[in-house]
Structure 1
């Protein structure tokens, strides 16, 4: 066996297994190995198991990373973020905390229109400068792959600029970025009386440019009452699918309109939020293999009920957990908080939480075939925790216990 790096002296190796999302009861099935080792050849895992059973390494001696008897888990895949944007909306956070209704916040100039204005005025360099430290924080938290959405331009030039920023950032730093075009994130003022007209504009002027330049892997739509209804959402998703994009939906977050059912019918990779999704639509998602992505920190910051992750898992769904980092409803990329909320308020086991943050997150962005677990043949994305067991991910509530991040077979972050 050839290897360029070996992680040894692992007290506990904990990982889901497989190359697709784990559903239902399968989410709690982890491979847990005591006194383990992981061998990596360049950027691919070639061995993961009991250290005493690891085959001898041929050729030059590999780099050795001593886990110091601590736990090792897969790199986190944050499958739902809006991390490229201009400006901030701190005042809205405190307005909401003081109990101001949404319409009053809107009347004061708040809401997504605020971010659209600031993002439209931001240059590419501005977007790169603000997004770079967010990615640095992600890496420290153990996020090795992140999905990023556009959707703060609601036009041609700014949407392209957001996606171009993600392409540049993907090449500049270690975190892999999966880009999603989300032009139908809101209705721009130019089309305030015609959401269908805005979809026409997207299909005619924007989507072809995104495709021609290869700027996104997925397309997403905010399928919600008062934003984009089922007909306009379906029309956009069908065009995106025909253009070769994977599909995602913000579905049934505020009002139940059947977005989860549309996700199932369209064969989407994931449907996200799902606070108001019906049981029938969730069952349809389970049958169609659509990942249900829950975003607990958004519910936490909005002081809203949490998505019924327990019910979804019991229905046989594959559930992913993600941060929903954005400047309005959830200005946080805290994976430690996501893990704690998953256990404390969504009735998930810690095994299910780990699967939701890794393999199922990878499946939600079409990447479960090569990441999301520590197995031979997968990309070598792994975390050494400053803890003896993966169970500390939620137990050490809200705290970052990631000590060392290994990305594509290289040590890219070490605490202190």
Structure 2
């Protein structure tokens, strides 16, 4: 058997289902050919392999490359002033209704050039890569006009070409009503659905479609219109659901068979049951929960009871989750939401891949899947959720090459 690269003297947390915790294989080997995993298993069972290169990992742990399945990585400026306001007692809703929040990022994002947006996004991406991320989802939604939404999506595609990560792009046109449409939101909804989405799709800039369903954002009827159009275009959907209130978002995501419903702090048992029946992944976002000082956590016990799959992501954004560390997100998911370390790590690998529609290509260390791997200086996988701020990554591989 020929291989481009052979990893030995390592332990592998394959994150596959149905076996040992973490899908762990101790004293393992991984063979890589043409950017794919050609063989993985105990080193004692390794067949004869003619490898172009052999990497001895000195007893380190290997996991699938981590997947950040919910980010707003591309934006202009920052909202540290709003951070100060919230610490002074203002709520997220109050800031948004006063013209802050998402709309304040729209102004700075519209004013920034593509190169400026790329450079600032790359600085944040550095934090994700340093914590083992090999795939990142990037949303639009801070443009809210045709030119800027397309600009953001072009930058996201460029990051996928030049940033050393895989990128999945998501069109988030229904994120907020821009100031110029404040008196005619119906016209903006028409624009977002019938103009901007079609342009993004025709230019090959969008992999999925998202919306923000809340009383301060968009209604279930408006979101349904967007999702119906996405379906007509053959695009999968996902939803910011039930973050600040029970607006029926979880059930709406289930009705449209969304890839995921994200946040879901206020989802009811009925909504969770609907998600389970439709196979919708629950994406938990502990960074936003922390920064907004929320007190109602996602209904993790209900998710477990109904066997809803759970993913974990940073929600990296300028206003409510300035979090650019995937291992910090794992720690926060365990501490705040009481996930087990295995649940959290599954949520940043296998289930994050499922939340992006990529579970057949990534998220586990299995024969035939992409050789996107992270190598860690830890004594066991649980350490990835235990440390907060300690550098743990030794190296990353993207399609079998150091990245």
Same fold (TM over 0.5): yes
TM-score scaled by structure 1?
A: 0.93
What count of residue pairs does the alignment treat as equivalent? 402
Cα contact 2:287–2:322 (8 A) shared by 1: no
Matches of 1:101 and 1:69 in 2, distance apart? 48
1:326-341 map, 5 Å: 326-341=317-332
Cα contact 1:149–1:181 (8 A) shared by 2: yes
Match of 1:97 in 2: 87
Distance 1:351 1:333, change over 3 A: same
Q: CA deviation at 1:15?
A: 2.1
Distance 1:201 1:361, change over 3 A: same
1:42 has 2:34 as partner: yes
Give me the CA root mean square deviation: 1.7
Match of 1:3 in 2: 3
One of 24, 36, 51 as aligned partner of 1:32 = 24
1:200 has 2:190 as partner: yes
Match of 1:23 in 2: none
Q: Which moved more, 1:264-273 or 1:126-135?
A: 126-135
Match of 1:249 in 2: 239
1:358 has 2:357 as partner: no
Relative contact order (C-alpha < 8 Å, sep 6+): which is higher? 1
One of 59, 63, 74 as aligned partner of 2:64 = 74
- Secondary structure class of the residue paired with 2:390: coil
Cα contact 1:28–1:349 (8 A) shared by 2: no
1:342 has 2:333 as partner: yes
Q: CA deviation at 1:313?
A: 2.1
Matches of 2:291 and 2:19 in 1, distance apart? 27
Q: CA deviation at 1:52?
A: 1.2
- Secondary structure class of the residue paired with 1:68: strand
Cα contact 2:92–2:292 (8 A) shared by 1: no
Q: CA deviation at 1:342?
A: 1.9
1:287 has 2:271 as partner: no
Matches of 1:110 and 1:202 in 2, distance apart? 21
Match of 1:63 in 2: 53
Q: CA deviation at 1:204?
A: 2.3
> What does the per-residue CA deviation read over 1:251-288, in whole Å, with 9 as the maximum and x for residues that have no partner?
11111111110110101001101011111011110110
Q: CA deviation at 1:103?
A: 5.8
1:17-416 map, 5 Å: 17=16, 30-58=22-50, 61-102=51-92, 105-106=95-96, 110-305=100-295, 306-412=297-403
Cα contact 1:135–1:175 (8 A) shared by 2: no
Match of 1:21 in 2: none
Cα contact 2:125–2:324 (8 A) shared by 1: no
Distance 1:259 1:104, change over 3 A: closer
Q: Which moved more, 1:103-112 or 1:85-94?
A: 103-112
Distance 1:260 1:328, change over 3 A: same
Matches of 2:216 and 2:375 in 1, distance apart? 45
> What does the per-residue CA deviation read over 1:166-216, in whole Å, with 9 as the maximum and x for residues that have no partner?
112211121011000001100111222333321111222211111110101
Matches of 1:262 and 1:325 in 2, distance apart? 24
Q: CA deviation at 1:290?
A: 0.5
Distance 1:112 1:27, change over 3 A: farther
Structure 2, unmatched stretches of 5+, are none
TM-score scaled by structure 2?
A: 0.96
Cα contact 1:310–1:348 (8 A) shared by 2: no
Q: Which moved more, 1:28-37 or 1:126-135?
A: 28-37
Distance 1:203 1:125, change over 3 A: same
> What does the per-residue CA deviation read over 1:298-352, in whole Å, with 9 as the maximum and x for residues that have no partner?
1011111332234312221010000000000011122122111222221211111
Cα contact 1:27–1:318 (8 A) shared by 2: no
Q: Which moved more, 1:391-400 or 1:197-206?
A: 391-400
Q: CA deviation at 1:137?
A: 2.3
Q: CA deviation at 1:82?
A: 0.2
Cα contact 1:191–1:198 (8 A) shared by 2: yes
